[in-house]
Amino acid sequence: MTPLDPLDRQVVNALQRGLPLTPRPYADAAARLGIDEAELLRRLASLLARGVLTRFGPLFQIERAGGQFVLCACHAPAGRLEAVIAAINAHREVAHHYERTHRLNLWFVVALEAAADLPAALARIAASAGVEILPFPKQREFFVNLYLPA
C-alpha cells in the first residue's frame, strides 16, 4: 500500500467529523483544507481505490427513525459457504457480510426500516440460507475516530 502523504491524513482526519451542511459541502470542506473541490474529490477516490478507505458516506442513527441495524452471525458449513452467502445476500435487508475463522464463520448486518420487522426478516433469511441466525442487537453505541498524525 502506498503510504499516506500529510494531505491524505488531513483529509481522513477532517472528513470523519462530517461534511459541512451547505449547498457545496465538498467545496467547503476542501476550502477548510486549503485545496479545491476537485482535489478533495480526487483524493477521496484515490483513498477508496487504494483500500485506505473501504467506504465513504453518511452514517445514520436509524433507531431515531424507528429502524434498526443488527449484527448477525451464523455457522455456514464449508461445503455450503458460497450458497449460504448468496442466500443471505439475496435479501434486501442485508447490508454486507464478513467471513471469519470461527465456528460462527459468517457475520452480516441486517438493516431494517422498522425494528418490529426483525423477527420476520431473520426467519426469512434463516429459512432461505438453511442456517440458524444469531442476532446481536446493539447494547451500547461507541464512536471511534481514527486520527492520523500529519
- 134 contacts: CB under 8 Å, gap ≥ 6: 72, 73, 74, 104
Cα separation, 128 vs 85, whole angstroms: 11
pLDDT of amino acid 150: 61
Q: How far is 61 from 54, CA to CA, in rounded Å?
A: 20
In sequence order, the 6+-apart residues with CB closer than 8 A to the CB of 77 are: 84
Say what the pLDDT of residue 8 is. 94
pLDDT tens, per residue, the chain with 150 residues: 678 999 999 999 899 888 889 999 999 999 999 999 999 999 999 999 998 887 787 777 888 889 999 999 999 999 999 999 999 999 999 988 999 999 999 999 999 999 999 999 999 999 999 999 999 998 888 777 776 776
DSSP state of 56: -
Domain positions in the chain are: 6-49, 62-137
Model pLDDT, residue 140 = 86
Residue 51: predicted pLDDT: 84
Measured between its terminal Cα atoms, the distance across the chain in Å is: 17
**Which phi and psi (to 5°) does residue 102 adopt?**
-165, 165
Grid cell 441495524 is found at 69
pLDDT of residue 76: 97
With 0-12 / 13-18 / 19 or more C-beta atoms within 10 angstroms meaning exposed / middle / buried, residue 91 is middle
- As a CATH number, domain 62-137 is 3.30.70.920
pLDDT at 31: 97
- Spatial neighbors of 125 by CB under 8 A, at least 6 apart, are 72, 87, 88, 91, 93, 94, 110, 133
